[in-house]
Amino acid sequence: VSEVPVVFGPSDGWEAEAAREYFGDRLPYAVRYAELLGSAGIERGLLGPREVSRLWPRHLLNCAALTELVSRETRVVDVGTGAGLPGLVLALARPDIRVDLVESLQRRVDFLHEVVADLDLGEQVRVIRGRAEDAGVRAIVGGAPYVTARAVAPLDRLVKWCLPLLAPEGELLALKGATAGDELAEHLPAVRRAGGVGARIEMCGARLDESVPVIVIARGKGTR
């Protein structure tokens, strides 16, 4: 079997259109990020091999939909970022925001440093090795207007780790997929105990083939 060259750009049609809208003149950087994910990211086991064919719909565009919930010129902390999802996608799509990537595993942190250098994002993105619940991490990234998380932990654990990283009234944006409603209903008592208020589901990604449900939870004003 001859080797088939892998193309790392979005497919023609709605993917390409959405990619242009989300990434604007940074689209070539997003394509380069897709290439890094689809080569080194897969070789090092940060993503499964089956993900190569769905990097855009399932990863880059799914994560880019979160930009719809992030205000201008702000700061986002991405907890459990793995290979940089959604944090690096947000940084690429939104040059006006600063992004902190929090990841506990050194192997993933090494990859993140390489990608940040390759994409020349050093001014905009910080990579922090540690667990979100560690006091050291809290001291570095605490008081954030937004914390994001995708595929990191069930919501009851996520709120315990993430709400303390937020400024009062800051928002946790949790990408949870189709189970978002059920998960929020199940863990609402834990959300309230952790000081979360105004919990709701926002449907993002109107430009995509499937909308992207996001659990939004604010940190209550009086929460310590």
Ligand X SMILES: C[S@@+](CC[C@H](N)C(=O)[O-])C[C@H]1O[C@@H](n2cnc3c(N)ncnc32)[C@H](O)[C@@H]1O
Residues that bind ligand X (CB under 6 A): 79-82, 85, 102-105, 108, 131-133, 150-153, 161
- Nearest in space to 80 (alpha carbons), one of 43, 58, 112: 112
Which residue's CB is nearer to ligand X, number 150 or number 187?
A: 150
- Give the type of residue at 76: V
**Helix, strand, coil % over all residues of the chain, rounded to 5:** 45, 20, 30
Contact criterion met (CB below 8 Å) for 89 and 30: yes
The strand pairing partners of 98, in sequence order, are 75
Least Cβ distance, residue 25 to ligand X (angstroms): 25
Q: Least distance (Å) from ligand X to the CB of residue 221?
A: 25
73 or 101: CB nearest ligand X: 101
Residue among 215, 218, 217, 212 nearest 64 (CA): 212
Q: Which of 143, 167, 21 is closest to 94 using CA atoms?
A: 21
Instruction: Give 20 or 133: the residue with its C-beta nearer to ligand X.
Output: 133
Distances (CA, A) of 112 to 116, 167, 182, 211: 6, 26, 32, 28
Please report how close the Cβ of residue 119 comes to ligand X at its closest, in angstroms.
17
Shortest separation between residue 141's beta carbon and ligand X, angstroms:
11
Residue 200: is it exposed, middle or buried by C-beta count within 10 angstroms (0-12/13-18/19+)?
Answer: exposed
What phi-psi label fits residue 76: left (phi over 0), alpha (psi between -120 and 50 degrees) or beta? Answer: beta
User: Among residues 177 and 198, whose Cβ is nearest to ligand X?
Assistant: 177
Q: How far is the CB of 65 from ligand X (least distance, A)?
A: 13
Return the number of the residue (95 or 154) whose C-beta is nearest ligand X: 154
Which CB atom, from 1 or from 90, has the smaller least distance to ligand X? Answer: 90
Q: Which is closer to ligand X, CB of 104 or CB of 124?
A: 104
Task: Give the shortest CB-134-to-ligand X separation in angstroms.
Answer: 8
For the bound state, the minimum distance from the C-beta of residue 44 to ligand X, rounded and expressed in Å, comes to 12
